[in-house]
Amino acid sequence: MTRAYSGRASEELTVDRLAREELATDDVRIHPDTLEHQAQVAEAHANPQLAANFRRAAELARVPDDQVMAMYEALRPHRSTGAELEDLARRLDDHEAPRCAALVREAASVYARRGLLA
């Protein structure tokens, strides 16, 4: 059985509940555990990179929309200093998002070498 981000079982996502206004945004949002499950499926189908992406996604699933968008913006070229990227990586650590944090730290090091920092 699949659960939505809210914890509601996917079987409960019915038109009747929609009509009774019982469904909220988090009821139609994917749960991190489901993304981990999809990562395992991807791994079993010869795509470890897709699996890694789903695992980063599982970490981001708990991060609010506006923060996700801000993090993306910070990673664009010439937006952030090395220190700012390190701050971002720490925030991701705080969100229990070590894979995303590692990606940001790797970016910071490559950006520094290639002149892509702010």
Partner 1 sequence: MDPLTTGTDAPRPVGRIRFMNEQRVNLDGFAHEDVELGLVALSSPADPEPSLVVRDGKVVEMDGRAAEDFDVLDAYIANHGIDLSVAEEAMALDDVTLARLFVDFAVPRDEVVRLVAGTTPAKLARVVAMLRPAELTIAMTKLRARRTPSNQAHVTNRLDDPLLLAADAATAAAYGFRELETTVPVLADAPSNAVAVTVGAAVGSPGVLVQCSVEEAMELEMGMRGLVSYAETVSLYGTESVFVDGDDTPYSKAFLSSAYASRGVKMRVSSGAGAEVLMGGAERCSMLYLESRCVSLARAMGVQGVQNGGIDGASVAGAVPAGVRELMAENVMVMARNLESCSGNDALMSESHVRRTSRTLPIMLAGSDFICSGFGSIQRYDNMFGPSQWNAEDLDDWLVMQRDWGIDGGLRTADPQDMERLRRRAAEAVRDVYAWLGLADFTDEHVELAVDAVGSKDLGDPDPMVVLGAAQAIRTSGLGSLEVARALLECGYHVEAERVLEMLVARVHGDHLQTAAIFDESMQVLSLVTDPNDYAGPGTGYEPTPARQREIHAIRQARGVEDLRKDQEGFASDALRVVGPAAPGSDPREVVVGVSPGVGRTVWRTLSGLLVVDVLRELLAGLEEEGCRPRVVRVNRTLDLGMVGLTAARLAGSGIGIGLQGKGTALIHRRDLPPLANLELYSVAPVVTPDLYRLLGSNAGRHAKGATPVPARNPYTDEAIEARYHTSVIALIALERSCVDPQAGPEELEVAP
Name the site residues for partner 1 (rule: CB under 8 A). Answer: 2-5, 10, 13-15, 18-19, 21, 23-25, 27-31, 34-35, 37-38, 41-42, 45-54, 56-61, 63, 65, 68-69, 71-73, 75-77, 100, 103-104, 106-107, 110-111, 114, 116
Residues whose CB falls within 8 Å of the CB of residue 71, separated by 6 or more in sequence, listed in order: 63, 88, 92, 100, 104
Shortest Å distance, C-beta 83 to partner 1? 17
We find the least distance from the C-beta atom of residue 56 to partner 1, in angstroms, to be: 4
CB under 8 Å, gap of 24 or more: what pairs does 84-89 form? 84/118, 85/111, 85/117
User: Which residues on neighbouring strands pair with residue 30, listed in sequence order?
Assistant: 4
Nearest approach in angstroms of CB 91 to partner 1 is 13
Residue identified by tokens 């920092």 is 117
Measured from the CB of residue 93, what is the shortest distance to partner 1 in angstroms?
A: 15
Rounded distance, CA 2 to CA 10, Å?
Answer: 6
